[in-house]
Amino acid sequence: MEVRVSRDVFLKAVQKVQGIVEPKGAMPILSHLHLSAVEKDSIFIRATDLEIGTLGSYPANVTAEGAVVLNARKLFDIIRELPNEEIYIKKEENNWITLKCGKSKFRLPGLLPQDYPPMPEYSDQVVIEFDGNILKEMIRKTFFSVSPDESRQALNGLLLETEGSNATLVGTDGHRLALISRPVNSRNNDKKKLNFLLPKKALSELLKLMEDGNDKFGFSSHENHLAFIHGKQVIVSRKVDGKFPNYRQVIPTDNPLKAQANREDLTRALKRVALLADEKSKMVRFEIQKGTLTLISDNTDLGAAVEEVAIEYDGDEVSIGLNAKYVLDILSVMDVEMVTLNLKDQNHSCLFTSDSDDQYKSIVMPMRCLLYTSDAADE
Protein backbone atom coordinates (compact mmCIF):
# COMPACT_ATOMS: atom_id res chain seq x y z
CA MET A 1 0.00 0.00 0.00
CA GLU A 2 1.23 3.46 -0.91
CA VAL A 3 -0.87 6.62 -0.54
CA ARG A 4 -0.61 10.39 -0.32
CA VAL A 5 -3.22 12.34 1.60
CA SER A 6 -3.77 15.88 2.87
CA ARG A 7 -2.72 16.30 6.49
CA ASP A 8 -5.98 18.08 7.40
CA VAL A 9 -8.14 15.43 5.70
CA PHE A 10 -6.24 12.60 7.40
CA LEU A 11 -6.35 14.30 10.81
CA LYS A 12 -10.11 14.82 10.58
CA ALA A 13 -10.64 11.21 9.50
CA VAL A 14 -8.56 9.71 12.31
CA GLN A 15 -10.06 12.07 14.89
CA LYS A 16 -13.58 10.85 14.10
CA VAL A 17 -12.85 7.30 15.29
CA GLN A 18 -11.24 8.23 18.62
CA GLY A 19 -14.52 7.89 20.51
CA ILE A 20 -15.13 4.40 19.16
CA VAL A 21 -11.80 2.62 19.57
CA GLU A 22 -11.07 1.12 22.98
CA PRO A 23 -7.56 2.05 24.14
CA LYS A 24 -7.56 -0.35 27.10
CA GLY A 25 -10.03 -3.04 26.10
CA ALA A 26 -9.65 -6.80 26.45
CA MET A 27 -8.97 -7.10 22.71
CA PRO A 28 -5.87 -5.04 21.75
CA ILE A 29 -6.95 -4.85 18.12
CA LEU A 30 -9.99 -2.77 19.12
CA SER A 31 -7.63 0.10 19.99
CA HIS A 32 -6.68 0.18 16.31
CA LEU A 33 -8.25 1.47 13.11
CA HIS A 34 -8.38 -0.23 9.72
CA LEU A 35 -6.99 1.82 6.82
CA SER A 36 -7.50 0.50 3.31
CA ALA A 37 -6.77 1.75 -0.20
CA VAL A 38 -8.76 -0.02 -2.91
CA GLU A 39 -9.50 2.92 -5.21
CA LYS A 40 -7.14 5.32 -6.97
CA ASP A 41 -8.60 8.47 -5.50
CA SER A 42 -9.70 7.57 -1.95
CA ILE A 43 -8.89 5.72 1.24
CA PHE A 44 -11.29 4.06 3.68
CA ILE A 45 -10.98 4.24 7.45
CA ARG A 46 -13.10 2.13 9.76
CA ALA A 47 -13.18 1.37 13.46
CA THR A 48 -15.34 -0.66 15.81
CA ASP A 49 -15.78 -1.61 19.46
CA LEU A 50 -18.02 -4.54 18.41
CA GLU A 51 -21.11 -2.54 19.41
CA ILE A 52 -20.60 0.46 17.14
CA GLY A 53 -18.79 0.66 13.83
CA THR A 54 -17.90 3.59 11.61
CA LEU A 55 -16.69 3.72 8.02
CA GLY A 56 -15.60 6.76 6.05
CA SER A 57 -14.18 7.47 2.61
CA TYR A 58 -11.66 10.30 2.15
CA PRO A 59 -9.88 11.76 -0.91
CA ALA A 60 -6.32 10.56 -1.43
CA ASN A 61 -3.83 9.71 -4.16
CA VAL A 62 -3.36 5.92 -4.16
CA THR A 63 -0.41 4.50 -6.08
CA ALA A 64 -0.50 1.01 -4.55
CA GLU A 65 -3.51 -0.76 -3.03
CA GLY A 66 -3.50 -2.51 0.33
CA ALA A 67 -4.57 -2.30 3.97
CA VAL A 68 -3.00 -1.65 7.36
CA VAL A 69 -4.23 -1.76 10.98
CA LEU A 70 -2.69 0.94 13.18
CA ASN A 71 -3.01 2.15 16.75
CA ALA A 72 -5.65 4.87 16.45
CA ARG A 73 -4.56 7.05 19.36
CA LYS A 74 -0.87 7.03 18.53
CA LEU A 75 -1.58 7.79 14.89
CA PHE A 76 -3.81 10.70 15.87
CA ASP A 77 -1.17 12.11 18.25
CA ILE A 78 1.41 12.02 15.46
CA ILE A 79 -0.77 13.59 12.76
CA ARG A 80 -1.91 16.55 14.84
CA GLU A 81 1.73 17.53 15.47
CA LEU A 82 2.67 17.40 11.79
CA PRO A 83 2.95 20.50 9.58
CA ASN A 84 0.14 21.26 7.14
CA GLU A 85 1.74 19.37 4.26
CA GLU A 86 0.97 16.21 2.32
CA ILE A 87 1.36 12.94 4.22
CA TYR A 88 2.99 9.95 2.53
CA ILE A 89 2.23 6.43 3.82
CA LYS A 90 3.85 3.22 2.61
CA LYS A 91 3.33 -0.29 3.90
CA GLU A 92 6.54 -2.24 4.59
CA GLU A 93 7.22 -5.86 5.53
CA ASN A 94 5.54 -7.47 8.55
CA ASN A 95 2.74 -4.84 8.56
CA TRP A 96 5.01 -1.95 9.47
CA ILE A 97 4.43 1.39 7.78
CA THR A 98 6.56 4.40 6.96
CA LEU A 99 4.87 7.78 7.38
CA LYS A 100 6.48 10.96 6.05
CA CYS A 101 5.40 14.59 6.21
CA GLY A 102 7.72 17.52 5.53
CA LYS A 103 10.98 16.68 7.24
CA SER A 104 9.36 14.22 9.67
CA LYS A 105 9.56 10.45 9.26
CA PHE A 106 7.97 7.73 11.40
CA ARG A 107 7.97 3.93 11.36
CA LEU A 108 4.91 2.39 13.00
CA PRO A 109 4.00 -1.23 13.72
CA GLY A 110 0.69 -2.62 12.48
CA LEU A 111 -1.46 -5.69 13.00
CA LEU A 112 -2.76 -8.16 10.44
CA PRO A 113 -5.59 -6.51 8.46
CA GLN A 114 -7.43 -9.82 8.09
CA ASP A 115 -7.70 -10.07 11.91
CA TYR A 116 -9.65 -6.81 12.20
CA PRO A 117 -13.37 -7.30 13.01
CA PRO A 118 -15.64 -6.78 10.01
CA MET A 119 -18.00 -3.84 9.70
CA PRO A 120 -21.48 -4.76 11.03
CA GLU A 121 -24.00 -5.40 8.29
CA TYR A 122 -26.32 -2.51 7.60
CA SER A 123 -28.89 -1.49 5.03
CA ASP A 124 -28.32 1.41 2.66
CA GLN A 125 -32.09 1.65 2.14
CA VAL A 126 -32.87 4.90 3.95
CA VAL A 127 -36.27 4.96 5.71
CA ILE A 128 -35.93 8.48 7.16
CA GLU A 129 -33.94 11.45 5.91
CA PHE A 130 -33.10 14.25 8.33
CA ASP A 131 -31.97 17.77 7.66
CA GLY A 132 -28.67 18.06 9.51
CA ASN A 133 -29.66 21.15 11.49
CA ILE A 134 -32.91 19.53 12.61
CA LEU A 135 -31.29 16.26 13.66
CA LYS A 136 -28.58 18.07 15.59
CA GLU A 137 -31.19 20.18 17.39
CA MET A 138 -33.28 17.12 18.25
CA ILE A 139 -30.32 15.30 19.78
CA ARG A 140 -29.04 18.37 21.63
CA LYS A 141 -32.41 19.04 23.26
CA THR A 142 -32.96 15.47 24.51
CA PHE A 143 -29.55 13.86 24.98
CA PHE A 144 -29.01 15.31 28.47
CA SER A 145 -31.97 13.29 29.81
CA VAL A 146 -30.54 9.87 28.86
CA SER A 147 -29.90 7.65 31.87
CA PRO A 148 -26.23 7.11 32.88
CA ASP A 149 -27.21 3.84 34.59
CA GLU A 150 -25.85 1.09 32.32
CA SER A 151 -28.10 -1.49 34.00
CA ARG A 152 -31.20 0.24 32.60
CA GLN A 153 -30.56 -0.53 28.96
CA ALA A 154 -33.89 0.75 27.67
CA LEU A 155 -33.08 4.19 29.10
CA ASN A 156 -29.48 4.23 27.80
CA GLY A 157 -30.52 5.89 24.58
CA LEU A 158 -33.17 7.96 22.86
CA LEU A 159 -36.45 6.71 21.49
CA LEU A 160 -37.02 7.67 17.85
CA GLU A 161 -40.63 7.52 16.71
CA THR A 162 -41.74 8.36 13.19
CA GLU A 163 -45.19 8.59 11.70
CA GLY A 164 -45.74 10.08 8.27
CA SER A 165 -43.51 13.14 7.85
CA ASN A 166 -43.02 13.71 11.59
CA ALA A 167 -40.30 12.36 13.88
CA THR A 168 -40.20 12.46 17.69
CA LEU A 169 -37.12 11.97 19.85
CA VAL A 170 -37.57 11.16 23.56
CA GLY A 171 -35.12 10.69 26.40
CA THR A 172 -35.65 9.94 30.09
CA ASP A 173 -33.74 8.69 33.12
CA GLY A 174 -36.82 8.18 35.29
CA HIS A 175 -36.43 11.55 37.05
CA ARG A 176 -36.82 13.79 34.01
CA LEU A 177 -37.93 13.57 30.41
CA ALA A 178 -37.31 15.57 27.24
CA LEU A 179 -39.33 15.30 24.03
CA ILE A 180 -39.05 17.04 20.67
CA SER A 181 -40.94 16.60 17.39
CA ARG A 182 -39.78 17.88 14.02
CA PRO A 183 -40.60 17.32 10.31
CA VAL A 184 -38.57 14.75 8.35
CA ASN A 185 -38.52 13.24 4.88
CA SER A 186 -40.01 9.79 5.39
CA ARG A 187 -39.30 7.10 2.81
CA ASN A 188 -41.44 4.59 4.65
CA ASN A 189 -43.93 3.74 1.89
CA ASP A 190 -46.61 2.16 4.10
CA LYS A 191 -46.55 5.23 6.41
CA LYS A 192 -46.93 3.08 9.54
CA LYS A 193 -45.45 4.20 12.85
CA LEU A 194 -41.83 3.14 13.39
CA ASN A 195 -39.98 2.96 16.71
CA PHE A 196 -36.23 2.66 17.30
CA LEU A 197 -33.99 2.88 20.36
CA LEU A 198 -30.82 4.80 19.52
CA PRO A 199 -27.77 4.09 21.75
CA LYS A 200 -26.23 7.14 23.38
CA LYS A 201 -22.69 6.30 22.23
CA ALA A 202 -23.84 6.12 18.61
CA LEU A 203 -25.54 9.49 19.04
CA SER A 204 -22.36 10.99 20.50
CA GLU A 205 -20.40 9.82 17.47
CA LEU A 206 -23.12 11.05 15.13
CA LEU A 207 -22.79 14.56 16.53
CA LYS A 208 -19.13 14.53 15.46
CA LEU A 209 -20.20 14.08 11.84
CA MET A 210 -22.43 17.14 11.93
CA GLU A 211 -19.91 19.71 10.81
CA ASP A 212 -22.18 21.09 8.10
CA GLY A 213 -25.65 21.42 9.56
CA ASN A 214 -27.34 21.67 6.17
CA ASP A 215 -26.22 18.21 5.04
CA LYS A 216 -28.71 15.35 4.87
CA PHE A 217 -28.50 12.34 7.16
CA GLY A 218 -30.19 9.08 6.22
CA PHE A 219 -31.38 6.54 8.77
CA SER A 220 -31.80 2.81 8.08
CA SER A 221 -32.60 -0.34 10.03
CA HIS A 222 -31.49 -3.90 9.29
CA GLU A 223 -32.12 -6.82 11.65
CA ASN A 224 -30.17 -6.02 14.83
CA HIS A 225 -28.41 -2.92 13.54
CA LEU A 226 -29.21 0.74 12.94
CA ALA A 227 -27.26 3.03 10.63
CA PHE A 228 -26.87 6.75 10.04
CA ILE A 229 -25.58 7.48 6.56
CA HIS A 230 -23.98 10.79 5.68
CA GLY A 231 -22.53 10.99 2.19
CA LYS A 232 -19.56 8.63 2.17
CA GLN A 233 -19.64 8.07 5.92
CA VAL A 234 -21.73 5.71 7.99
CA ILE A 235 -22.17 4.89 11.69
CA VAL A 236 -23.63 1.47 12.48
CA SER A 237 -24.80 0.39 15.91
CA ARG A 238 -26.47 -2.55 17.57
CA LYS A 239 -30.04 -1.88 18.59
CA VAL A 240 -30.61 -1.24 22.29
CA ASP A 241 -32.21 -4.15 24.12
CA GLY A 242 -35.30 -3.54 26.22
CA LYS A 243 -38.57 -1.66 25.91
CA PHE A 244 -38.78 2.09 26.30
CA PRO A 245 -41.32 3.23 28.93
CA ASN A 246 -44.72 4.55 27.90
CA TYR A 247 -43.66 8.17 28.07
CA ARG A 248 -47.05 9.57 27.05
CA GLN A 249 -48.63 8.57 30.35
CA VAL A 250 -46.30 10.84 32.32
CA ILE A 251 -46.70 13.99 30.23
CA PRO A 252 -48.97 16.25 32.33
CA THR A 253 -52.25 17.27 30.75
CA ASP A 254 -53.82 18.94 33.77
CA ASN A 255 -51.22 21.38 35.10
CA PRO A 256 -53.36 24.54 35.37
CA LEU A 257 -50.79 26.78 37.10
CA LYS A 258 -48.63 28.50 34.49
CA ALA A 259 -45.74 30.79 35.41
CA GLN A 260 -43.77 32.48 32.64
CA ALA A 261 -40.20 33.71 33.21
CA ASN A 262 -37.40 35.18 31.16
CA ARG A 263 -35.14 32.21 30.43
CA GLU A 264 -31.84 34.04 30.88
CA ASP A 265 -32.92 35.75 34.11
CA LEU A 266 -34.11 32.43 35.55
CA THR A 267 -30.92 30.67 34.48
CA ARG A 268 -28.62 33.20 36.11
CA ALA A 269 -30.61 33.30 39.35
CA LEU A 270 -30.87 29.52 39.60
CA LYS A 271 -27.11 29.10 39.04
CA ARG A 272 -26.43 31.43 41.95
CA VAL A 273 -28.91 29.86 44.36
CA ALA A 274 -27.79 26.33 43.39
CA LEU A 275 -24.30 27.09 44.66
CA LEU A 276 -25.54 26.38 48.18
CA ALA A 277 -27.85 23.49 47.31
CA ASP A 278 -27.21 20.06 48.77
CA GLU A 279 -24.30 18.46 46.90
CA LYS A 280 -26.18 15.22 46.32
CA SER A 281 -29.81 16.22 45.78
CA LYS A 282 -29.15 19.63 44.12
CA MET A 283 -32.59 20.64 45.41
CA VAL A 284 -33.78 24.20 45.10
CA ARG A 285 -37.27 25.19 46.21
CA PHE A 286 -39.37 27.13 43.73
CA GLU A 287 -41.95 29.27 45.55
CA ILE A 288 -44.37 30.85 43.09
CA GLN A 289 -46.80 33.64 43.86
CA LYS A 290 -48.34 36.52 41.94
CA GLY A 291 -45.59 38.23 39.94
CA THR A 292 -42.68 36.58 41.76
CA LEU A 293 -40.73 33.32 41.76
CA THR A 294 -38.56 32.89 44.85
CA LEU A 295 -35.67 30.43 44.60
CA ILE A 296 -34.44 29.02 47.92
CA SER A 297 -31.59 26.70 48.87
CA ASP A 298 -30.90 25.83 52.48
CA ASN A 299 -27.96 23.64 53.46
CA THR A 300 -26.94 23.01 57.07
CA ASP A 301 -23.26 22.77 56.15
CA LEU A 302 -23.02 25.36 53.36
CA GLY A 303 -25.57 27.99 54.29
CA ALA A 304 -28.60 29.40 52.52
CA ALA A 305 -29.44 31.45 49.44
CA VAL A 306 -32.59 33.26 48.31
CA GLU A 307 -33.28 35.14 45.09
CA GLU A 308 -36.43 36.53 43.51
CA VAL A 309 -37.21 36.42 39.78
CA ALA A 310 -39.97 38.45 38.15
CA ILE A 311 -42.57 36.26 36.44
CA GLU A 312 -45.92 36.52 34.74
CA TYR A 313 -48.28 34.66 37.10
CA ASP A 314 -51.67 35.36 38.60
CA GLY A 315 -52.66 32.02 40.12
CA ASP A 316 -52.65 30.40 43.55
CA GLU A 317 -49.41 30.19 45.52
CA VAL A 318 -47.50 26.96 44.91
CA SER A 319 -44.17 25.59 46.11
CA ILE A 320 -42.15 22.72 44.66
CA GLY A 321 -38.67 21.28 45.18
CA LEU A 322 -36.72 20.58 41.97
CA ASN A 323 -33.23 19.37 41.11
CA ALA A 324 -31.46 22.56 40.03
CA LYS A 325 -29.12 20.75 37.65
CA TYR A 326 -32.04 19.14 35.82
CA VAL A 327 -33.75 22.50 35.39
CA LEU A 328 -30.53 24.18 34.22
CA ASP A 329 -30.01 21.40 31.66
CA ILE A 330 -33.43 22.21 30.21
CA LEU A 331 -32.96 25.97 30.22
CA SER A 332 -29.57 25.63 28.48
CA VAL A 333 -31.10 23.99 25.39
CA MET A 334 -34.29 26.03 25.07
CA ASP A 335 -33.62 28.62 22.36
CA VAL A 336 -36.41 30.94 23.48
CA GLU A 337 -36.76 34.20 25.36
CA MET A 338 -39.57 33.14 27.69
CA VAL A 339 -40.10 29.76 29.33
CA THR A 340 -43.31 28.52 30.97
CA LEU A 341 -43.43 26.39 34.11
CA ASN A 342 -46.64 24.34 34.11
CA LEU A 343 -47.53 23.10 37.60
CA LYS A 344 -50.30 21.41 39.55
CA ASP A 345 -48.94 21.11 43.10
CA GLN A 346 -45.79 20.12 44.99
CA ASN A 347 -46.35 16.40 44.39
CA HIS A 348 -46.71 16.45 40.61
CA SER A 349 -44.18 16.99 37.86
CA CYS A 350 -43.25 20.39 36.48
CA LEU A 351 -43.64 20.71 32.72
CA PHE A 352 -41.38 23.18 30.91
CA THR A 353 -42.70 24.60 27.63
CA SER A 354 -42.59 27.77 25.55
CA ASP A 355 -45.19 29.56 23.49
CA SER A 356 -42.76 29.87 20.57
CA ASP A 357 -42.11 26.11 20.24
CA ASP A 358 -44.99 23.84 21.20
CA GLN A 359 -43.16 20.79 19.81
CA TYR A 360 -40.59 20.74 22.61
CA LYS A 361 -41.45 19.67 26.16
CA SER A 362 -39.39 18.74 29.17
CA ILE A 363 -40.49 17.35 32.52
CA VAL A 364 -38.81 17.35 35.93
CA MET A 365 -40.24 15.37 38.81
CA PRO A 366 -40.41 16.92 42.28
CA MET A 367 -37.77 15.68 44.67
CA ARG A 368 -38.19 12.13 45.97
CA CYS A 369 -40.50 11.17 43.11
CA LEU A 370 -39.91 9.00 40.04
CA LEU A 371 -41.45 9.24 36.59
CA TYR A 372 -41.73 5.47 36.24
CA THR A 373 -42.13 2.43 38.40
CA SER A 374 -40.91 -0.92 37.13
CA ASP A 375 -44.51 -1.80 36.27
CA ALA A 376 -45.11 1.40 34.34
CA ALA A 377 -42.01 0.80 32.25
CA ASP A 378 -43.53 -2.40 30.90
CA GLU A 379 -46.87 -0.92 29.86
What's the pLDDT tens digit per position in 23-59? 887 899 999 999 999 999 999 999 999 989 999 999 9
- Rounded CA gap, 285 and 327, in Å? 12
Asked, for residue 121, whether it belongs to a domain, the answer is: no
pLDDT recorded at residue 379: 42
Domain of residue 225, residue span = 128-244
pLDDT recorded at residue 378: 44
Structural domain total, the chain = 3
Helix or strand holding residue 157 (H, E): strand 157-163
pLDDT recorded at residue 370: 52
Q: Do 137 and 237 belong together in one domain? A: yes
pLDDT recorded at residue 214: 63
- Rounded CA gap, 97 and 79, in Å? 14
- Nearest residue to 165 via CA among 178, 183, 147: 183
Asked, for residue 310, whether it belongs to a domain, the answer is: yes
Does residue 377 have a pLDDT over 90? no
Where is the domain boundary, 115, 137, 164? 115
Phi then psi for residue 300, to 5 deg, are -55, -40
Asked, for residue 35, whether it belongs to a domain, the answer is: yes
Alpha carbon distances (Å) from 3 to 7, 17, 38:
12, 20, 11
Asked, for residue 213, whether it belongs to a domain, the answer is: yes
| Mean pLDDT value across residues 224-245 | 88
Phi-psi region at 52: left, alpha or beta (left = phi > 0; alpha = psi -120 to 50): beta
Q: Do 8 and 72 belong together in one domain? A: yes
Asked, for residue 320, whether it belongs to a domain, the answer is: yes
Asked, for residue 122, whether it belongs to a domain, the answer is: no
For residue 125, name the pLDDT band (cuts at 50, 70, 90): confident
* CATH number of 62's domain: 3.10.150.10
The fraction of the chain above a pLDDT of 90, given in percent, is 71
Q: Rounded to two decimals, what is the model's pTM?
A: 0.87
| Mean pLDDT value across residues 236-256 | 88
The fraction of the chain above a pLDDT of 70, given in percent, is 95
Asked, for residue 120, whether it belongs to a domain, the answer is: no
